[in-house]
Structure 1
Amino acid sequence: MATQTEQFVKVGQLQEIKAAKCPVVYAEGHAIAIVSHNGTLHAIDNRCPHMGFPLDKGTVKEGILTCHWHHARFDVVSGGTFDLWADDVPTFPVEVRGDEVWVDLAPSNHSEAHHEKRLKDGLQQQISLVIAKSVIALLGQGSDATAPFRLGLEFGTHYRRAGWGAGLTILTCMHNLRPYLKSEDHPQALYHGLSAVARDCANEPPHFNVEPLPSTPADIETLKGWFCQFVEVRDSQGAERCLMTAIQASASPIQIADILFTAATDHRFIDGGHTLDFTNKALEALDIAGWQHAAPVLGSLVRGYTEGERKEESNAWRSPIDLVDILNQTFQALPDAISQGTTQLSAELDQDRLVAVVLGDDPALICTTLLDQIRAGCSVTDLAAMVAYAAALRIAHFHTQNDFRDWDTAHHSFTFANAVYKGLQRVSSPELTRGIFDAAMTIYLNRFLNIPAAPLPKPENELQNPEQLLDQLPELLDRQQQVNEVGNLVARYLYGGGDGDRLLAVLGRLMLREDRSFHTIQELDAAFNLYTHWQHKPDRVYILVAAARYLAAHAPTTRAQHQTYQIAARLHRGEHLFESST
């Protein structure tokens, strides 16, 4: 039985320990390997910090201990690893007192700075396990999730010359989803986002910020005009310099957002809607991390404006009906409609009628109807939310006989429409209002994805035990092509009196099981946001039906990322991953 004096614990007799090759002693719940090197005893934690393999089964040669599971190598004196995908192994001071060996078991927990450094290592080396361990440790020590989020944001904006992309969008979506999740799922959400950033930046050259003008001779409105002109001619350097100058000139967040949203809607549905959605996510990221990061974060967006495809250049938007011409005529009338609307009492949206028009097959009528709503004093934010709801219905009605790739066609309309809605909450400008009409045209173009239309689940009576129904959802998502079954279950649960907040948490957890999918994560982020907005509308059930159907269409995956996270979580709890057969 171990005896303790101050911080030291007696672990054995000197001669017995020296006689053994690499003995393992047990004290105070610790398994400690004693290694002899150059006549000196060294005590190290017997669990390999990589994945828990017993280090006494490894080999010591010239002061280096090699773990035989994945061949991680450690300096037996300091415990430092030579392989960045492993961690340093904890060491314990040893004292020889006569014929007895004593080991100091005083806890030596790693500092927050250590875990942040390891997170940077994981991002740089693209090591998901290291990222997972670092996030779990940081949040387990009570760190605010903002700190690792900020590290990922700084890394992703600097180490990817192509600029803002899927990785940083996933990171921001995951942070947005955290309030809907159970607290125990927060580290996994952040881990998914940070791993996505690392993957996006792998083997990429860095982005070097363009400096602002040496002085600021122009006001913000002039800089906005210059920025849009440079975007128009696809000059990314000129545009970025204007943006950096506006930031240096202390333009407010609203002014900066207005500059960006104007350029993002000067052309139709740029890059399939990604440009506007990325802009919205970058602004959300600054709200989280702080606007002192505006220059690198917003500078990473510019190439998306100048290099993205503009839908006025595509045949589908020009023929057989010239949608761009219809939109241009609408935009000419838009300023007067907005001005007239400000003199009216706020109009109540006739949701059913408007949704039916937006889902219809007359693009001119769609634009005219939306314009009339603005003239009548309807809030453009509410109008944008209604159009986003119509886009969600395209997914709720999506028939599985369609080509699988067309899930993303409907998805892009929805996430773009949601970005317009979110953007208008930030800046209610005439320029961004154009996005409502662009979104409506994408919904019109997707009308054939609902022919035939998958039927919407109908309201049912309240269930005696709706939670029992929800328990079936994980099993359904363990099987392929359960799209309709999952959608029906979600509707039955909500119409049957189920808890909407619990459903959000369960859908979020089930999404985290899957290997990170850019579009699936976008889908749930947008759906959860819109569902929350439509607090008092019973039809909001179909927003989650759409999200659940999309998740079911893209599940199950190999779930390798989930497995990696589970390994990190078990190691953090001190569990044994490696079990001896003897």
Structure 2
Amino acid sequence: MAVDDTEPDGYSEAVDLDELRAEGRALTAVDGTPIALFYHEGEVRAVNNRCPHMGFPLTEGSVDEGVLTCHWHHARFELSCGDTFDPWADDVDTYPTEIREGTVYVSPAPRRSDPPAIHWRERLDDGLEQNLRLVLAKSAVALVDAGVDPAEVVERGVTFGVRNRADGWSSGLTILVALANRLSDLDEQDRKRALYQGLTEVAGDCDGEAPKFEQEAFAATDVPFERLRSWFRENVEVRDADGAERVLRTAVAAGYGPEKLTELLVVAATDHRYLDTGHTFDYVNKATEALDLVGWDDEERTAEVLSSLVRGLATADRAEETSSWRQPDDLAAMCEESFARLDDLVAAGEGETWTEPDDFTERLHAADPETVFDAVEGAIENGATVEQLASAVSFAAAKRVALFATSNEFNDWNTVHHTFTFANAVHRAAERTDATALYRGVFDAAVNVYLDRFLNTPPAPEATGDPDADPDAALESLRGAFEQQGKVQRAGDAVADYLAAGGDPDRLKAELGNALLVEDTGFHTFQAYEAACRQFDAREDPEERRDCLVAAARYMAAHYPTRRSREQTFSIAARLLRGERVHGDADGDAGADESSPEASADD
């Protein structure tokens, strides 16, 4: 605090010093910013009046021994520099002051001058490390507003997630990548919601977990790929995660690219049947998709991301060890018999071009497993690629969800869901590698489509759509279905009506995405939306495209509405960053703009 007799250049007149000394605090506004002035221990201090946590006016706080305390949530700040004692609150801006002829002047420029992007990157890291939802929400909003590429935000989340969970890749990272894959379907505000939801899930997954400690690649990196693949499979087979990680890191260090590294992983992931009800393979797929988003060019990053999968591969439950795969039909043994013929089937199909028969979905939905196996084997023998066959089986799985009968137990939604998202993951992996072993994943998906048959017995009424419907009314009906419990059929019918009436599919995906992101959505529902949108995009037949989004809408409606606690946090963050008042806003409407002098004075 300097004392002089001339008016300071660039400063604004704030308050009479004697008045400030008498009252202890005062409120002013400089260039639209509300500033709280305190006279404490013989010094004048100036801070932004809005608590950086949730906007409470700091002039209503208290000061003791150089500590300013906000009374709303008890955030504490070192008064002279604004640093917080409580990382969930953020630091408060402080401003230089000068005294001239008994008047206090305040500079409009805060002492901190870091650009918003730098500040919010640091806060994003804080939010991830300490699992702070409001901080993550603010960071997601502020970084997008600052022009930061969402891919960078995703990369920071992925890097944190793979380094800070000893058990490796899990649901949080899967959600983050799934949402990142669909950002282009969403409007601007929902893209921010998607980043926030994904980052929150990653932070929650890592909260309280031990960090992951890395294994090293072998010094010998000139080992042939076939031998590395064999070593990797052997180590996963005997559940030796550390050995498998060393082999995988060696493959990365040897310079093998996305196709070969994916092959290494999916071969091991299909040595046993339907690992962890499909989650293990889906994690493999999502980790490779994460690298598609953030880049495969960085060797260390690629090794970190892919090695996070190894423990899950080595410890996964194997479906052939369950009774459903052994009795009354030994489906695991039937798979092994088909796998023994796989090379011959592929050889027979060389040079052939397979076109999916009109009745292929019905054959996959057959009540006799022999019919299902014959359909898949016949397709391979007639030239079906892994990608073609995985696509066909993915649709058969989506159809199970679209026709899921609500008379079933509620938890059975997850049974049909797991089959669909697993099949979708196999389909995506087949776009990256044509490894023959990946056909085994197709068989796994087809077997589960067969096992799910009773969940369509009887099937729900098929949503075919009314071409004379009003698309806007259909969307309104869809929104209404999500606002009431159990409106599953209404949601499916609304999607079908909208598409039959010529509604814009992009708008529908955005509407579904918004519904997904304003709820306290669970892991499986995020997966359902992403897989359905992806299969919609991959198909040409209008009825098949319709059924994919009908499946998503029905699954979502079965799980909505929720309390929307996460949306409340996001809304608070967005409003704070717009300068709106949150404190005292009892009815939930936006308050006055606290960046204006008038609003500041009212506080």
AA aligned to 2:34 is: A
The equivalent residue for 1:475 is 480
Cα deviation digits, residues 102-138 of structure 1 (max 9, x gap): 1111364644232111111111111100111112111
Equivalenced residue count is 576
The equivalent residue for 2:305 is 297
AA aligned to 1:423 is: A
The equivalent residue for 1:175 is 180
The equivalent residue for 2:95 is 92
Which deviates the most, 268-277 or 324-333?
324-333
**2:361 is aligned with 1:326:** no
| Aligned-pair CA distance for 1:198 | 0.6
Which deviates the most, 97-106 or 523-532?
97-106
Cα deviation digits, residues 354-375 of structure 1 (max 9, x gap): 0000011121221111221222
Assess if the C-alpha contact under 8 Å between 1:424 and 1:433 holds in 2: no
**2:77 is aligned with 1:74:** yes
1:83 counterpart (83, 86, 89)? 86
Distance 1:566 1:580 in 2: 13
AA aligned to 2:310 is: V
Distance 1:411 1:329 in 2: 27
The correspondence of residues 305-316 of structure 1 with structure 2, limited to 5 A, is 305-316=313-324
1:347 counterpart (354, 369, 377)? 354
Distance 1:531 1:353 in 2: 20
The correspondence of residues 167-566 of structure 1 with structure 2, limited to 5 A, is 167-216=172-221, 218-291=223-296, 292=298, 293-344=301-352, 346-350=353-357, 352-463=358-469, 465-566=470-571
The equivalent residue for 2:139 is 134
Assess if the C-alpha contact under 8 Å between 1:37 and 1:63 holds in 2: yes
| Aligned-pair CA distance for 1:98 | 1.6
Distance 2:249 2:102 in 1: 70
| Aligned-pair CA distance for 1:6 | 5.4
| Aligned-pair CA distance for 1:161 | 0.7
Cα deviation digits, residues 450-488 of structure 1 (max 9, x gap): 11210111242233x312321232232111111111111
Distance 2:9 2:284 in 1: 58
Assess if the C-alpha contact under 8 Å between 1:516 and 1:561 holds in 2: no
AA aligned to 1:543 is: C
1:115 counterpart (113, 120, 128)? 120
AA aligned to 2:88 is: W
Assess if the C-alpha contact under 8 Å between 1:330 and 1:368 holds in 2: no
Distance 1:95 1:428 in 2: 71
Distance 1:290 1:213 in 2: 24
Q: Secondary structure at the match of 1:209?
A: coil
Distance 1:68 1:476 in 2: 41
| Aligned-pair CA distance for 1:5 | 7.5
| Aligned-pair CA distance for 1:392 | 0.7
1:19 counterpart (22, 46, 68)? 22
Cα deviation digits, residues 147-200 of structure 1 (max 9, x gap): 221111111111111110001101111101211111221111011111001100
Which deviates the most, 168-177 or 362-371?
362-371
The equivalent residue for 2:44 is 41
- Structure 2 gap ranges (5+): 1-6, 587-601
| Aligned-pair CA distance for 1:577 | 0.4
Distance 2:124 2:386 in 1: 42
Distance 1:76 1:516 in 2: 40
Which deviates the most, 96-105 or 299-308?
96-105
Shift in CA distance, 75/424, structure 1 to aligned 2, threshold 3 Å? same
Cα deviation digits, residues 37-61 of structure 1 (max 9, x gap): 2212111111111011111111000
AA aligned to 2:253 is: Q
Distance 1:219 1:151 in 2: 33
| Aligned-pair CA distance for 1:145 | 1.0
The correspondence of residues 48-59 of structure 1 with structure 2, limited to 5 A, is 48-59=51-62
AA aligned to 1:76 is: L
| Aligned-pair CA distance for 1:217 | 5.2
Distance 1:341 1:45 in 2: 72
| Aligned-pair CA distance for 1:535 | 3.0
| Aligned-pair CA distance for 1:398 | 0.7
Assess if the C-alpha contact under 8 Å between 2:536 and 2:544 holds in 1: no
Distance 1:473 1:99 in 2: 65
| Aligned-pair CA distance for 1:296 | 1.2
Q: Secondary structure at the match of 2:325?
A: coil
The equivalent residue for 1:31 is 34
Shift in CA distance, 23/211, structure 1 to aligned 2, threshold 3 Å? same
| Aligned-pair CA distance for 1:379 | 3.3
Assess if the C-alpha contact under 8 Å between 1:7 and 1:106 holds in 2: no
Q: Secondary structure at the match of 1:23?
A: strand
TM-score, structure 2 as length reference: 0.93
2:67 counterpart (60, 64, 69)? 64
Cα deviation digits, residues 507-552 of structure 1 (max 9, x gap): 0011001113110001101000000011343332011111000001
Q: Secondary structure at the match of 1:426?
A: coil
AA aligned to 2:15 is: G
Distance 1:470 1:183 in 2: 20
| Aligned-pair CA distance for 1:254 | 1.0
AA aligned to 2:337 is: Q
Assess if the C-alpha contact under 8 Å between 1:462 and 1:497 holds in 2: no
Which deviates the most, 150-159 or 92-101?
92-101
Distance 2:415 2:388 in 1: 24
Q: Secondary structure at the match of 2:182?
A: helix
Distance 2:523 2:10 in 1: 50
| Aligned-pair CA distance for 1:17 | 2.5
Q: Identity over aligned residues, as a percent? A: 44
TM-score, structure 1 as length reference: 0.96
Assess if the C-alpha contact under 8 Å between 1:280 and 1:422 holds in 2: yes
